[in-house]
């Protein structure tokens, strides 16, 4: 099993550009989520999904869109990148949220200039 | 809303010494999880605590969940260089299903 796969690993964008961060898992997990990690602020939840066709907002959803058309994939879209979105982004999945650990991808380091 | 606070933010430890990191929530948690992130890596699950007053051990690591289920601690004995990394606690409340909230983490540096 590959687990949770994120692409790309690194990305540099200019302000105003758009891009999609990809996340795929092969564990048939129902729940998937996106976090951003900034120094001194831990991991903050952006969006999450409890199953195909269902998404919801986390703590810091502004500037990001998500969709969940399949169980396996949960892409994160930045429609108009801003320097404040410079961060490390982690995708995570779990079979069910009750007493189950999150499985994280390796992360995407995004820089917006 | 729910807030998870973690202290200290940084911890410099001499190899062989013990240390403790603390996690406090403003609301009662249904469970708490601990993760470790090595430099340049991704968070890796360590353990989950569910019951009030629960204590679990993993070799030199001891995890505790408070009686009120609002705080937790991680105690590491005889610190080794392999313990370097950032330790996060993460909690969820019964009315915020799906929103696992992470503390800011304790970054641990070990001096040989």
Any bridge partners for residue B75, and if so which?
A: B20, B62
Residue B97 has what pLDDT? Answer: 67
pLDDT at B1: 56
Nearest to A42 among B48, B50, B104 (CB): B104
Is there a contact between B105 and A102 if contact means CB atoms under 8 Å apart?
no
Q: Which pLDDT belongs to residue B92?
A: 85
The distance of B64 to chain A (nearest Cα, Å) reads: 16
What is chain A's mean pLDDT, rounded? 94
Q: Which of residues 62-81 of A touch B (CB under 8 A)?
A: none
| Size of chain A, expressed as the number of residues it contains | 113
Residue of A90, A97, A99 with shortest CB distance to B98: A97
pLDDT at B74: 98
Measured CA to CA, the distance from residue A74 to residue A22 in angstroms comes to: 7
Q: Which of A40, A42, A101 sits opposite B45 (nearest CB)?
A: A101
Is B111's Cβ below 8 Å from some Cβ in A? no
Predicted local distance difference test score (pLDDT) of residue A97: 63
pLDDT tens readout for residues B31-60: 999 999 999 999 999 999 999 999 999 999
What is the rounded average pLDDT for all residues in chain B? 93
CB contact under 8 A, B98 and A44: no
Q: How many helices (H) and strands (E) does chain B have?
A: 0, 11
Greatest CA separation found in chain A?
40
Give dist(CA B47, CA B30) in Å, integer: 14
Q: Please enumerate in sequence order all residues whose Cβ is within 8 A of that of A62, keeping only pairs 6 or more positions apart, or say none.
A: none
Q: A107 and B97 in contact by Cβ < 8 A?
A: no
- Whether residues A45 and B99 touch (CB distance < 8 A) is answered with yes
């Amino acid at each position: 099993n590959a687990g949770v796969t994120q692409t790309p690993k690194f990305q540099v964008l200019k302000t105003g550009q758009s891009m999609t961060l990809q996340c795929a898992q092969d564990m048939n997990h129902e729940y998937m989520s996106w976090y951003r990690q900034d120094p001194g602020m831990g991991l903050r939840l952006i969006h999450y999904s409890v199953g195909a066709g269902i998404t919801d907002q986390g703590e810091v959803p502004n500037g990001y869109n998500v969709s969940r058309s399949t169980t396996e994939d949960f892409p994160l879209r930045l429609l108009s990148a801003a320097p404040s979105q410079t961060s490390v982004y982690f995708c995570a999945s779990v079979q069910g949220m009750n007493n189950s650990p999150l499985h994280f991808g390796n992360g995407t380091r995004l820089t917006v200039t | 809303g729910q807030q998870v606070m973690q202290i200290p933010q940084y911890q410099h430890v001499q190899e062989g010494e013990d240390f403790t990191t603390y996690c406090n929530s403003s609301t009662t948690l249904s469970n708490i999880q601990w993760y470790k992130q090595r430099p340049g890596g991704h968070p890796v699950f360590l353990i989950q605590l569910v019951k009030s007053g629960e204590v679990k051990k993993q070799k030199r690591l001891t995890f505790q969940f408070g009686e009120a289920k609002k705080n937790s601690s991680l105690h590491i004995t005889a610190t080794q260089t392999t313990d370097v990394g950032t330790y996060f606690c993460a909690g969820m409340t019964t009315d915020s299903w799906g929103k696992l909230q992470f503390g800011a983490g304790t970054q641990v540096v070990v001096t040989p």
